[in-house]
Amino acid sequence: MTEEIDLDELDVDGEDEPEPNPGDWFWRGEGDPEDEPEAAGTSPGTTGAGGGDSEGTDGPEDAADGETEPTARVPHVPRENKDKPVGIPVEGGGAGARAAADAAEDPPDHDGDDDRGEASGPHGGDIDEMTMALTYEAMKRLEDPQRVIADANAWADWVGIVGDVESFVINKFQRDNRIDVDFFNGSSQGPAERLAAVDETSMFYAERMVLVGLPGEEWMAEAAEWEFVPLSEAAGKADWARTDGESG
């Protein structure tokens, strides 16, 4: 968890205009994507959500003179008998475990009466800003779905895929394109039902919920009371290449 920062303690020139945030052009209608700072994880050679190959990591074969790089130490709690099995009493030849009396000496960091404020979000914090979903048919018309998901993760809190297809079809599409998303509809739910399930009780709920799709798929967003953005508009602004030959 990141530490809170007191903005009043920062030295900021009041005459400078604030830097744009990734995605402002998309969900606030402000600025241009070319003027925005490059978001982490979207530069060439990196992959988006769901992992992928990392570049720039030297393997043992790259070490000079046949010597391998030293292995990084794994953080651990030092133990006198760390070479013995944990959880078995010392008398039985093990490393033992932390005594209950020792644990009792370390009280919790809070007593339940501290001033933490009331959580307003469904998952223990402030409500998120944006949840974005793309339709399966829209994803099939993108030349680089992996890059699109990486871009979407830069400005949306949650990203999903919904479609009027069986769940294994979406699963296979993700596997083939090496992508991973936060949610997608299953066999027992249609796309509109899955979107509608992202309500105030869902961890994916946000102030703004947007569905990117093709003409004729507006009904999914309308039934779930989501905002609909045509793929042509989103792809044009984000510079996503499409396989159907259309610009943007």
Q: Model confidence over 182-199: pLDDT tens digits?
A: 999 987 889 999 999 999
Q: Give the model's pLDDT for residue 56.
A: 42
Q: Are the C-beta atoms of residues 132 and 159 closer than 8 Å to each other? A: yes
- Is the model more confident about 210 or about 41? 210
Q: Give the model's pLDDT for residue 127.
A: 80
- Is the model more confident about 13 or about 36? 36
64 Cα distance to chain centroid: 37
Tell me how many helices (H) and strands (E) the chain has: 8, 5
Q: Model confidence over 105-129: pLDDT tens digits?
A: 444 444 444 443 343 555 555 788 9
Q: Please state, as a whole number, how many other Cβ atoms lie within 10 Å of the Cβ of residue 60.
A: 9
Mean pLDDT is highest, among 15-24, 68-77, 80-89, 150-159, for 150-159
d(CA 128, CA 132): 12
Q: Give the model's pLDDT for residue 187.
A: 79
Region of poorest pLDDT, from 18-32, 59-73, 150-164:
59-73
Q: Give the model's pLDDT for residue 123.
A: 52
Q: Please state, as a whole number, how many other Cβ atoms lie within 10 Å of the Cβ of residue 29.
A: 8
Q: Give the model's pLDDT for residue 43.
A: 45
Q: Model confidence over 44-96: pLDDT tens digits?
A: 444 444 444 434 444 444 444 445 454 454 555 555 565 666 556 666 666 66
The dihedral through the CA atoms of 14, 15, 16, 20 has a sign that is positive
Containing 92, the helix (H) or strand (E) segment is none
Taking alpha carbons only, the member of 76, 95, 98, 77 closest to residue 85 is 95
Homologous superfamily in CATH for domain 128-238: HAD superfamily/HAD-like (3.40.50.1000)
Q: What is the pTM of this model?
A: 0.53
d(CA 131, CA 151): 13
Q: Give the model's pLDDT for residue 36.
A: 64
Q: Provide mean pLDDT across the span 26-42.
A: 62
Q: Give the model's pLDDT for residue 78.
A: 52
Beta-ladder partners of 134: 161, 212
- With cut-offs at 50, 70 and 90, classify the pLDDT of residue 207: very high
